[in-house]
């Protein structure tokens, strides 16, 4: 039987499984049924591999529910500190003995460091930052075909690899999670023998005090301000929008141009080089709809855009189009809430 391996990522604070791992597990499971539909004798099992000093039962069970047939813990206290070389070497040691046909890595900061180190040593290809993955049937052979945005997302490219294992890093937030897998499977612990000592020392961590964590992962409603809210050389309307977000229990987001002009902090940025959101409702105020921005919000359920330019690209991606002055709309909404409160 063939195997899809998901490289599992844990929260470094408490070793809980990061959501992206569940997303990849669900995708891996769907890929496995897709393979069977396309070619009957083709069956893949789904394995998830973690590098950590421990993993509690609750988390292991969640991994099974999310789609894993096999959960592997490469166990060593060395993993309490993250070094790409140490992780990659230990992973490879395990992988050499337990190979698989496909490896999915999360395109997270850590995943992006480990994946190239692993694939270079396997002398195989790596498709970066994918937003889709499927199988294609070519000359009666099933080929793993991930798709990635390229050229500043102006173009999508589906990439095949000539050599196994077929490897890709996958962006977080692009696939859904699903905890309906009823079967549990096998849990395996593996102790690595050899790994590289690293030549890096973390000498100091300073909290970036003026900044708080903005985590869009569970954002239901996002109010996003674009450069169209800029007026009178002030950030007045970004502040107003933030206030509106607070009142309505929504998330405040911005485009990169707004960040570039120092009108809001980078942590609020949505898009290819910012956060990806999958909101139930996404409202764009004065956003033009550049593809790099669209990448980060297009999977939202309902998209509403307010723009003065009736031909703005953002409308192509919107469920509701409103040609209006977004600043006035914000003012009107605030008036409504001021009265109510």
Partner 1 sequence: MNIIVCIKQVPDVDDIKWTKENNLDRNNMLSKINPYDEYALNAAIKIKSRFKEAKVTVISMGPKQAQDVLNFALAKGANRAILLSDKAFAGSDTLATSKILAAAIKKYCPDFSLILTGQMAVDGDTQQVPLSLAQLLEIPEITNITEICNADKNVAIVSVKTDLKIDIYEINTPCLLALKTECEENYIPKIDDYIRAQNIPIEEYDINDIGINKEDVGVIGSPTMVYRAFRPEIHKDTKEIKEDITKKILDFLLKVDNK
Positions 138 through 167 that interact with ligand FAD (CB under 6 A): 152
Binding pattern for the stretch 269-288 against ligand FAD, x by CB under 6 A and - elsewhere: xxxxxx-----------xxx
What backbone torsions phi and psi does residue 272 show, to the nearest 5 degrees? -55, -40
Range 86-117 burial, b when 16+ CB lie within 10 A, else e? bbbbbbbbbbeeeebebbbbbbbebbebbbbb
Nearest to 68, CA basis, from 179, 204, 226, 217: 179
How far, in Å, CA of 71 to CA of 62, rounded? 10
Taking CA atoms, 286 is separated from 114, 161, 270, in Å, by 39, 41, 14
Q: Is 338 in the site for partner 1 (CB under 8 A)?
A: no
What is the per-residue DSSP string for 42-55? --EEEEEEEEES--
Which residues inside 253-272 make contact with ligand FAD, applying CB under 6 A? 255-258, 269-272
Q: Which is nearer to partner 1, 28 or 306 (CB)?
A: 306
Nearest to 148, CA basis, from 162, 133, 161, 138: 133
Hey, how many other C-beta atoms are within 10 angstroms of the C-beta on 71? Answer: 27
Which residues inside 93-112 make contact with partner 1, applying CB under 8 A? 109, 112
Q: What, of partner 1, ligand FAD, none, does residue 325 touch, CB below 5 to 8 Å by kind?
A: ligand FAD
Find the shortest distance in angstroms from Cβ 12 to partner 1.
Answer: 12
Q: Is 155 in the site for partner 1 (CB under 8 A)?
A: yes
Q: Is 306 in the site for ligand FAD (CB under 6 A)?
A: yes
Stretch that binds partner 1, among 1-9, 16-24, 36-44, 277-285 (CB under 8 A): 277-285
Q: What is the SS3 assignment for 80?
A: helix
- Are the C-beta atoms of residues 291 and 256 closer than 8 Å to each other? no
Q: Is 206 in the site for partner 1 (CB under 8 A)?
A: yes
Which residues inside 12-31 make contact with partner 1, applying CB under 8 A? none
What backbone torsions phi and psi does residue 45 show, to the nearest 5 degrees? -95, 160
Q: Which is nearer to partner 1, 70 or 242 (CB)?
A: 242
Which residues inside 214-253 make contact with ligand FAD, applying CB under 6 A? 226-228
Q: Which is nearer to partner 1, 64 or 144 (CB)?
A: 144
Which residues inside 310-329 make contact with ligand FAD, applying CB under 6 A? 312, 325-327
Site residues for ligand FAD per CB under 6 A: 152, 226-228, 255-258, 269-274, 286-288, 290, 292-293, 296, 306-309, 312, 325-327
């Amino acid at each position: 039987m063939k195997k899809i391996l998901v490289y599992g990522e844990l929260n470094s604070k408490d070793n809980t499984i990061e959501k992206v791992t569940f997303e990849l597990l669900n995708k891996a499971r769907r890929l496995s049924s897709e393979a069977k539909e396309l070619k009957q004798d083709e069956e893949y099992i789904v394995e998830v591999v973690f590098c950590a000093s421990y993993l509690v039962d609750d988390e292991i069970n969640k991994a099974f529910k999310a789609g894993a047939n096999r959960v592997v813990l490469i166990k060593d206290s060395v993993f309490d500190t993250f070094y790409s070389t140490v992780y990659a070497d230990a992973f490879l040691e395990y992988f050499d003995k337990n190979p698989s046909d496909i490896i999915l890595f999360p395109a997270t900061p850590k995943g992006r460091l480990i994946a190239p180190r692993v694939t270079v040593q396997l002398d195989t290809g790596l498709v970066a930052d994918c937003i889709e993955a499927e199988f294609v049937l070519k000359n009666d052979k099933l080929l793993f075909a991930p798709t990635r945005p390229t050229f500043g997302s102006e173009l999508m490219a589906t990439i095949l690899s000539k050599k196994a294992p077929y490897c890709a890093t996958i962006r977080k937030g692009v696939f859904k999670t699903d905890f309906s897998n009823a079967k549990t499977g096998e849990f395996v612990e593996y102790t690595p023998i050899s790994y590289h000592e690293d030549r890096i020392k973390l000498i100091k961590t300073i909290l970036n005090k003026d900044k708080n964590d903005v985590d869009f992962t569970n954002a239901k409603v996002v109010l996003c301000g674009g450069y169209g809210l800029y007026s009178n050389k002030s950030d007045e309307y970004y502040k107003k929008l933030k206030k509106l977000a607070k009142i309505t229990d929504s998330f405040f987001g911005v485009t990169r141009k707004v960040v570039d002009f120092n009108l809001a902090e980078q942590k609020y940025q949505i898009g290819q080089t910012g956060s990806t959101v999958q909101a139930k409702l996404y409202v764009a105020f004065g956003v033009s709809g550049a593809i790099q921005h669209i990448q980060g919000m297009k999977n939202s359920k309902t998209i509403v855009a307010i723009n003065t330019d009736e031909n703005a690209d953002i409308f192509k991606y919107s469920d509701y189009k409103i040609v209006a002055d977004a600043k006035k709309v914000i003012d009107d909404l605030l008036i409504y809430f001021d009265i109510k409160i």
